């Protein structure tokens, strides 16, 4: 499966045919994910902040504790930062995440925080608005737009970034931040969600940061990095 060079087969620059092949191979292995809304936008925003540098299990636990202790996001915004830190302590980095969450909620207004403003915005305008909030970067903005609203905006986490670089979809020096619009365009609106979900799965199970299992990889035949990492 790894015979020859993936670069020769995939080409120096990915084409729409290359992307279609990669997406089909991922779908063949992991199935075709179907989008369903995960949380309302403000919930998704807070959840994504909590998910930074921790496990999914810790994120779910911290988010659940926060929702159990406080009736509304306005209550979280107005609570002492030390109390919010205690509520999310299971997720790690509570001293950083608690003030960030409070600052974001405060930036959404004095009443009940909401993101209804996004409804009348284009994808680009929505990304610009969200990244204008305190401490919100492109990945967090993309998670809110894609997971909550079904917008075709690609979140690029560490797994997506690593897999995309190894496949040659982005250059070796392209940062995760810069990769967001590139991978969004390469995937195409109808494939953004499936590509994100399946690349995350692939990065966790096969294309790991250390000792990637290239001998088990369904993409080895099109991957220029197969057997080299």
Q: Which two tokens stand for residue 182?
A: 């590139």
Answer whether 141's CB lies under 8 Å from 123's CB. no
Neighbours of 9 (CB within 10 A): 13
Neighbours of 176 (CB within 10 A): 20
The DSSP string of 130-164 is HHTSTT--HHHHHHIIIIIH--S-----HHHHHHH
Catalytic site includes residue 102: no
User: Residue 207 carries which DSSP code?
Assistant: S
Tell me, what DSSP letter sits at residue 227?
Answer: T
Of 39, 27, 31, 79, the residue nearest 63 (C-alpha) = 39
Tokens for 73, please give them: 């996001």
Quote the CA–CA distance of 65 and 147 in Å, as a whole number.
Answer: 21
Query: Tokens in use for 142?
Result: 């993309």
Which residues are part of the catalytic machinery? 139
């Amino acid at each position: 499966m790894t015979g020859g060079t993936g670069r020769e087969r995939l080409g120096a620059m990915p084409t729409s045919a290359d992307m279609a092949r990669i997406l089909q191979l991922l779908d063949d292995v992991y199935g075709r994910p179907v989008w369903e809304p995960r949380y309302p936008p403000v919930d998704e925003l807070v959840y994504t902040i909590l998910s930074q540098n921790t496990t999914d299990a810790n994120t779910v636990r911290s988010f659940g504790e926060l929702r159990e202790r406080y009736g509304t996001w306005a209550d979280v915004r107005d609570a002492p930062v030390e109390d919010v830190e205690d509520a999310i302590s299971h997720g790690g980095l509570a001293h950083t995440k608690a003030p960030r969450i409070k600052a974001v909620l405060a930036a959404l207004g004095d009443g009940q925080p909401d993101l209804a403003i996004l409804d009348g915005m284009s994808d680009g305008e929505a990304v610009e608005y969200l990244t204008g909030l305190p401490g919100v970067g492109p990945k967090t903005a993309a998670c809110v737009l894609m997971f909550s609203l079904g917008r075709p905006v690609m979140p690029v986490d560490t797994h997506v970034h690593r897999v995309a670089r190894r496949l040659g979809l982005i250059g070796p020096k392209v940062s995760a931040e810069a990769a967001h619009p590139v991978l969004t365009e390469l995937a195409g609106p109808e494939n953004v969600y499936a590509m994100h979900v399946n690349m995350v799965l692939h990065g966790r199970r096969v294309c790991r940061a250390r000792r990637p299992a290239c001998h088990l990889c369904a993409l080895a035949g099109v991957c220029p990095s197969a057997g080299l990492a």
